[in-house]
Structure 1
């Protein structure tokens, strides 16, 4: 745990939501179970194996000591989550969590929920993907965007802020899309977005009729039983891209699976959408550095033929 304690002792006072310590990247031997995230004004410590009460007490002491240096006039707020077998056990360890809890990234607000569920409403590792979408929208005003597996619609928010004309958000979860709608309202985006609670594998009709799109974002779960398993289902989506992406348009392909490397996406794209040209792999935020680029989050940019 020493590397995590060292990170706490030297961490800055963040204003944006961000990862502080990424033991999962394998660069800190003995700390592979731990991550530390800032969702101001709350710290979130996550462990992927059981943590003892002594370990939690040690973390509390370290966070308290650093917080007294960073912001002594405010209470320390921190949450612990133990993740296992696609479930999560969450405890409020000190202070409180705002309700609603709004965090920022590059001036944009997003609602998060740290005390319930496995995920928190906003994926910190996708920051560079959102920045790429923002830059594309600024360079090409008026984009029409299809956001598949939209979750809470962060890609939609930044696309519309940067000048997109329309975004269609598709996700099976009504609850996630409801948070997505509130994210749009939070940022003063009153129009341009639609929200489709839909299983794409039951029918592509509604989605295809709305196209073609200048940008298609694919950010599916790597494994979600009964919904999406990347090894067999990603190809089913890729083969639709020639019909969904406008000539010269872009596709942003995301995959967060340590078991599947870049070659999985590239080989499958060559088979399912051979006319698309690979442009680049986006970098991950430095805080998510990993001992292996193949294990880390993959975010690839493709361009459709003109």
Structure 2
């Protein structure tokens, strides 16, 4: 398992980036492993079983590479996602507490030792940058907000107001700390509710100029994409102002790009496809249908719908 030849010759200038993405099936023999740089720590994750010999080999390769690119003490968090529940251990120095990382000039709190979701999904970096560029003076709704990274980027882009909704109140609490760290104390709401029981409240708070939908693909009791995405889409347009925009995301390898586009066509015909956002180059995929899908849609205004009908 030759990981080290795929690693950069020096540490990236940004403190928050994927260094190796094996899950895109572009590197034979390394399909189940990833390595992230979350300064000042590394996060190695394996989604496949590793023998003791394979684990020792990979750990040694990372240590040798680390010594070649920096004289800093090694801080390596090793996460076994093949185990249930995931197992996490630290090699060398522990990550700082609190642990703040920077992405595109903004700061986010992480907890690498907590478990599988540490606070920021690196594959969504292009989506966050897009939201920053398209939020100026807009009212934004961030569904499945998690730790509210989209909201921080929206506020950085000049959003007038952002509403964050997520069932996890601890995640929203972390999101609030992210906003405060970046100086965004006003104009942000945090709703710890079940989306499907909250549409009435959201309608009263809306309509919104931009809605971000970034759900888990399969989370029992929260969201199962094949069942719940159609439910959401049937009511999504009523939350978006005419001419408003939506960013629809899906990270389920078993569901291809055509699946999501067909669901939107079937259940939210008011939305018009604009384009698919490119994923970060640090997340190569041999089959784009298995990777993260991020689609930009726009709600047609009434005048446009009438003209298309004739």
The TM-score normalised by the length of structure 1 is 0.95
Please state if 1:56 is matched with 2:55.
yes
SS, match of residue 84 in structure 1: coil
Q: Is the 8 A contact 1:16 1:106 kept in 2?
A: no
SS at match of 1:37: strand
For residue 199 of structure 1, what is the aligned residue in structure 2?
194
Q: Distance in 1 between matches of 2:228 and 2:260?
A: 12
After superposition, the C-alpha distances for 1:238-275 in whole angstroms (9 at most, x for unaligned) are: 11122100011000000000000111111111111112
Aligned residue for 2:305? none
Contact 1:13 1:70 in 2 (8 A): no
- Secondary structure of 2:23's counterpart equals helix
Matching residue of 2:94: 96
**Contact kept? 2:4, 2:65, Cα under 8 Å:** no
CA distance in 1, matches of 2:191, 2:84: 25
| Partners of 2:8 and 2:19 within 8 A in 1 | no
Q: 2:265 aligns with which of 251, 254, 270?
A: 270
Q: Tell whether the 8 Å contact from 2:11 to 2:70 is kept in structure 1 after alignment.
A: no
For 1:79-110, what per-residue CA distance to the aligned partner results, in whole angstroms no more than 9, with x for missing partners?
Answer: 11011366311010121210001111111000
- 238-247 or 150-159: which moved more? 238-247
Alignment match, 1:287: 282
Contact 1:144 1:213 in 2 (8 A): yes
Segments of 5+ residues of structure 1 without an aligned counterpart are none
Contact conserved, 2:15 with 2:40, CA < 8 A, in 1?
Answer: no
5+ long unaligned stretches in structure 2: 302-310
What CA deviation, in whole Å up to 9, does each residue of 1:170-200 have, x standing for no partner? 0000110000000001101110110000001
Inter-CA distance 100–31: structure 2 relative to 1 (3 Å threshold): same
Query: Which residue is 1:169 aligned to?
Result: 164
Matches within 5 A, 1:125-274: 125-137=123-135, 141-274=136-269
Change over 3 Å in CA distance of 1:211–1:86 after alignment to 2: farther
Indicate the larger mover: 78-87 or 225-234: 78-87
Where 1:56 maps in the other structure, the secondary structure is: helix
Q: CA–CA distance in 1 between the matches of 2:206 and 2:197?
A: 18
Alignment length, in residue pairs? Answer: 301
CA contact (8 A) 2:10 2:69 kept: no
Aligned-CA RMSD value: 1.4
Q: Secondary structure at the match of 1:239?
A: helix
Q: Which residue of the partner structure matches residue 12 of structure 1?
A: 11
What secondary structure sits across from 1:220 in the alignment? coil
TM-score normalised by L of structure 2: 0.94
User: Secondary structure of the residue that 1:287 maps to in structure 2?
Assistant: coil
Deviation at 1:5, TM superposition (A): 2.2
**Secondary structure at 1:120's aligned position in 2?**
coil
C-alpha contact 2:33 2:45 (8 A) present in aligned 1? yes
